[in-house]
Structure 1
């Protein structure tokens, strides 16, 4: 019997790319996808005519619980880091539909926004990271699963971690940092952080950075996130691996970084490329503060606080080796894409 996979977020950026990669690697699996309505379902069916769709929002607990109970593995990507009702529904469905002898597996997308808590708590906006802000997902696993409750995404992380109290449920949390690159899903193929910075800068005529410009994040190509999710799905189906507490359970917390950037550095890359392509008269960047940035529709507070992660677990247990091109290499396409979306024409 084909493994049963329930995936949320197929019309989103992460979920769309993950499903593309998963379906390509395992076309024989039995897939059920949650979509919001028939209009979105039609877009999915055009690309994947043989998948099963269930309709509902993330608040439709009965729909989600029923699908989770019937699945061998749940891959949750739809607003997964912050949506409480869907997390509770998945935990309930897996516990009710499985047993200690045949547990259900939950692969959950969080994000390294959770690591911004220190700067946010101490109002260290626009400052470079301090050493204790770096989290290695093996060496620092106890720190990670006990991050203070005020951290972004922490309320949902606690629901996922607590689900392991049922012997019928085993979880793995995946926390990507800044994601970039073209998605391969049927609807949304665009990321947010770097793309919105380019869009804001093209609209304003300069690329902003907050404070010192030395705020650091790690980054990863979307295709490399999907390859890690495939490794986790395959491990969940492997009797030799799916009982390993380093993979599934509270310790099954996977970061996914392949590069590092400062937001000041990214602003400079974008400015130089936008000038080269003829969308800025000068390769201009401008220092600003969090308050000014968040007044803008594209403004993102993550540009002001550090997020430092080390993906030791995926490398050690899966031999995960990121292969996507670097963030800097992606900048020309990001600039061109955002300029096109704004209807801009080169001025020189």
Structure 2
């Protein structure tokens, strides 16, 4: 019998690309996708005809519980790291619908903003250089034991505490994601794209705080690949403790950038490609308030440090990221943002 997958976020960036990758490789799986509206459902159905549409939103707890109970595997990507109600409903459904003999699996999308907790506590640290680097293989307890006030920590705790003999959980924690999504609707990420947006519209290079903050990155197709690999592990009923629950915490990165260097590269490329009027862009230093005024929370994050090593996925499921680096993707990011600006 075909495995049953329940996926949230099919119309989003991460969920759409994951659905593309999963459907492309395993069209025989029975995939159900949560979609809010009929219009969006049509877009998903047109792209993936075999997918069963579940009309509803993250606030529909009963629907989430029922679908999680029926599914062999839940892939949760829609506002996953911040919506507590949806996470509770999924946890309740998985627990009610599964047993030790027939466990349910939960692939949950976290976020590397959780690693920024030190910088977020002190505005004076904005843009500071940091040597702190987490590791999901040699020191996974450092990740599952972060301070309670760390970004997304309450949802991480909820997911991990749901793990049992009958429910197997895995948290996939991506940093800055880039690359064109292959889903039916939203194909754009945020952090690097908002940076490109600011550079193209304001025509200067933003330097946040001291300008030395570092952050990991990953191509969206590589993130989707890991979702597929862990889904396959779940389908094969691989319950090795190194994959799930307390140990199932996956940093999903394939590189690191300094935000100010990425901004400088974007500025240089924007002028080379003729996407802006100025021939040379000046740098402007922004503190927290000015950064928020210019581009919202994303701009402040360009002054945070979020650094870790993704070893677990490579060791336990053979994850091998293959996407181009974020630096090699800068021209595409800029062109996509320019096209988006012209359409709007």
Does the pair score TM above 0.5?
yes
Match of 1:149 in 2: 148
| SS at structure 2 position matched to 1:189 | coil
Q: Which residue of 2 aligns with 1:127?
A: 128
Out of 314-323 and 84-93, give the one that drifted further. 314-323
Q: Could you tell me which residue of structure 1 aligns to residue 14 of structure 2?
A: 14
Contact 1:114 1:151 in 2 (8 A): yes
Please report how far the alpha carbon of residue 297 of structure 1 lies from its aligned counterpart in structure 2 after TM superposition. Answer: 4.1
Task: Tell me which residue corresponds to 2:73.
Answer: 73
1:315 counterpart residue number: 314
CA contact (8 A) 1:14 1:222 kept: yes
Structure 1 residues 197 and 299: CA distance shift in structure 2, 3 A: farther
Deviation readout 1:206-239 (Å, 9 max, x if unpaired): 1212022210001010000011111100111223
- In the alignment, which residue of structure 1 is the partner of 2:213? 215
Contact 1:196 1:298 in 2 (8 A): no
Asked whether 1:60 is paired with 2:56, we answer no
Q: Give unmatched runs, 5+ long, in structure 2.
A: none
**Correspondence for 2:273 among 274, 277, 300:** 277
Question: Secondary structure of the residue that 2:270 maps to in structure 1?
Answer: helix
Q: Is the 8 A contact 1:206 1:280 kept in 2?
A: no
Cα offset for 1:30?
0.4
CA contact (8 A) 1:177 1:219 kept: yes
> In 2, Cα distance between the equivalents of 1:303 and 1:62?
38
Offset at residue 82 of structure 1 (A): 0.6
| Distance in structure 2 (CA, Å) of the matches to 1:221 and 1:284 | 29
Unaligned runs of 5+ in 1: none
Q: Quick one: distance in 1 between partners of 2:79 and 2:115?
A: 18
Comparing 15-24 and 114-123, the one that deviates more: 114-123
- Tell me, in whole angstroms, the C-alpha distance in 2 between the residues paired with 1:27 and 1:291: 48
Query: Structure 2 length normalisation: TM-score?
Result: 0.96
Look up the SS of the partner of 1:107 in the other structure: strand
> Displacement of 1:299 after TM fit?
5.0
Give, in angstroms, the shift of residue 296 of structure 1: 2.4
Instruction: Map residues 115-264 of structure 1 onto 2, 5 A cutoff.
Output: 115-123=115-123, 124-129=125-130, 131=131, 133-164=132-163, 166-239=164-237, 242-264=238-260
8 Å Cα contact 1:271/1:285 also seen in 2: no
Query: Residues of 2 paired with 1:280 and 1:161: CA distance?
Result: 50
Q: Tell me the distance in 1 between the aligned counterparts of 2:51 and 2:340.
A: 31
TM-score normalised by the chain length of structure 1: 0.95
Shift of 1:283: 3.4
Is the 8 Å Cα contact of residues 215 and 258 (structure 2) preserved in structure 1? Answer: yes
